[in-house]
Amino acid sequence: MSKNTPKTEEDNGSDPDPTKTKPYTWPSLAKPMKLPHPQKRSVRPLFSILLLIVFAATVSFRAVLRRADVNLSLSLGAWSPQKKTHVFNFNSTLLKYASVDISEPRAKRETEQLLDGNFASQGRYRTFATWRRFDTHQDLRARSSNSVPVLLRSPRFYRYWLQFRTVLHDWARKKTSFDPEIMSDLIRSVKLPLTNNSKRYSSCAVVGNSGILLKSEYGKLIDSHEFVVRLNNARTTGFERNVGSKTSVSFVNSNILHFCARRNECFCHPYGVDVPIVMYICQPVHFVDYTVCNSTHKAALIVTDPRFDVLCGRIVKYYSLKRFAEETGKSLDDWGVVRDGANFHYSSGMQAVMLALGVCDKVSVFGFGKSSLAKHHYHSNQKAELGLHDYEAEYAFYQDVIERPWKIPFISSKFKFPPMRELEEHKCWKFLFHVLALYYQSYTEHIRHGHIVDNVLMDKYITYNLFIKVRFFHLCPAQVVMVYPDSCGLSGRQMNGSFQFSNLGTHLFI
């Protein structure tokens, strides 16, 4: 008998205190009980039967509740707190086409040339200041017989040349492999170097560069997140009210660092020298910039794992192929011609969102999406984006992250997507105006017939499309949601006609 277990009987089996009432638990309740009154013995079988009936009824009732809970979960879908396991059969043809990287042979050829010291195929890259800072007296056009720049043989540059070859070789080796578990490795490869701990961020904001951020007044909301990611060095000065001022990491493509390399000491810190940079490689030759600039950067300069790049590329290509087939009805073989498959690439924003999903408990996305009424970028006069991105395909991916993460291909089922909200102003307004149209239609119809308009009647029309109502609250930020109930009569007050609508309109368009 365990030392900590209290004894209820003597070693010889006798009761130490017959006057005490012994507690019985199931199944000992079914054992014969020594009661002092013989006339009550006839109750024992009935009592045991009743207990069995109660036990059976309890089990049955719990089974009914469990079935009811499952039915409720199915009816509520993603809004139910109960977790469900979804099995989705992906289109094998789409998966096959999306797994092929048309640009891979070119990248492999460029990498081999660089590892051999042949920079002749890299165009004007050799004239950039990245090389010149190490020996201002060398003529970069002078070349040896094997096309290695004379500068690379200078003792001052030799150690950088060795580092360059090492990081490029390691990157090229990993790029040829595919790892569906790579999302679960982002804590180790990115979060740990940034903070020296493996704890996930409680909340993250990924701030895009779309002009829809102007007049949004999201600044305080963005800065309230623990971790804020900004893209491609988009400036915040002068736009703090709409885009915030906090920056935890600058996520860039290697073209950004390539241009920063022309500056003195590779200055690439619009958010401050203490802000780390996470970068994905667009061209293998950009490892020259990384190797040199990494020696002067005070904060961390991290290159994304190429297996993570491969995963992002496959996902976006899958959604682009799917969209192409559904909208055109053409063969998937034609996709490469229409989309310039050799140069097709995911956007920086898409990979930044993927990074946040891998290191954060909750993710909010700002400034993703376009509108004909807004500038292309909030901080520049750029008119349009490059054609190598398929933003509509990426928007479809974001929507699946929010509503149907089990439909996202190539990611291991072991990875659990954190909650994500897409805080896009134009989407909020789209659903809001849909709701307002229902109100206004009902309002004018009943006023025309002399009817009294009250909240019950208005709610009848608003709940006619409950999906729109719930979806609005799911997508829109707190500031907008606060305006919505108060202005649309959901706060319990009687509608006040045109005053409420005009007040709402004023708030929206200021």
Determine the 3-state secondary structure of 9 from DSSP.
coil
Determine the 3-state secondary structure of 184 from DSSP.
helix
3-state SS, 357-397, equals: HHHECCEEEECCCCCCCCCCECCCCCCCCCCCCCHHHHHHH
Instruction: Give the residue from 297, 304, 294, 286 showing the smallest Cα distance to 159.
Output: 294
Q: What tokens were used for 392?
A: 């509509």
pLDDT at position 449 is: 59
- Other Cβ atoms less than 10 A from the Cβ of 102: the count is 15
Determine the 3-state secondary structure of 264 from DSSP.
helix
pLDDT at position 170 is: 96
Distances (CA, A) of 1 to 6, 7, 11, 185, 317: 9, 9, 11, 48, 65
Q: C-alpha dihedral over 445, 447, 451, 456, to 10 degrees?
A: 70
Do 405 and 173 meet the contact criterion of CB atoms below 8 Å apart?
no
CA distance 59 to 125: 74
pLDDT at position 205 is: 96
Which H or E run includes 249? strand 249-253
> CB neighbours of 240 closer than 8 A, spacing ≥ 6?
219
* Residue for token pair 């087939």: 325
Q: What's 201's DSSP letter? A: B
Give the residues across from 229 on adjacent strands: 206, 249
Give the residues across from 302 on adjacent strands: 278
Distance of CA 361 to the CA centre of its chain: 10
Do 285 and 257 meet the contact criterion of CB atoms below 8 Å apart?
no
Among left, alpha and beta (phi > 0; psi -120 to 50; other), residue 272 is left
Distance of CA 113 to the CA centre of its chain: 36
Q: Per-residue pLDDT tens, the chain, 510 aa: give them.
A: 444 444 444 444 444 554 444 444 333 333 444 444 444 444 455 555 655 665 565 545 444 444 333 332 222 223 333 345 566 788 999 999 999 999 999 999 999 999 887 765 555 444 344 545 544 434 433 333 343 444 555 566 778 888 999 999 999 999 988 999 999 999 999 999 999 999 999 999 999 999 989 988 999 999 999 999 999 999 999 999 999 999 999 999 999 999 988 887 788 889 999 999 999 999 999 999 999 888 888 899 999 999 999 999 999 999 999 999 999 999 999 999 999 999 999 999 999 999 999 999 999 999 988 777 778 788 888 877 778 899 999 999 999 999 999 999 999 999 999 998 765 544 455 445 554 555 555 555 555 555 554 555 555 444 444 434 344 444 444 333 323 333 333 333 232 222 222 222 222 221
pLDDT at position 379 is: 84
pTM of the entire predicted model: 0.66
CA distance 414 to 311: 15
Distance of CA 495 to the CA centre of its chain: 39
pLDDT at position 352 is: 98
Evaluate whether the domain defined by 93-423 bears CATH number 1.10.101.
no
CA distance 94 to 4: 63
Give rounded-to-5 percent helix, strand, coil for the chain. 55, 5, 40
* Residue 236 phi, psi dihedral angles, 5° rounding: -110, -20
Q: What tokens were used for 460?
A: 């009848």
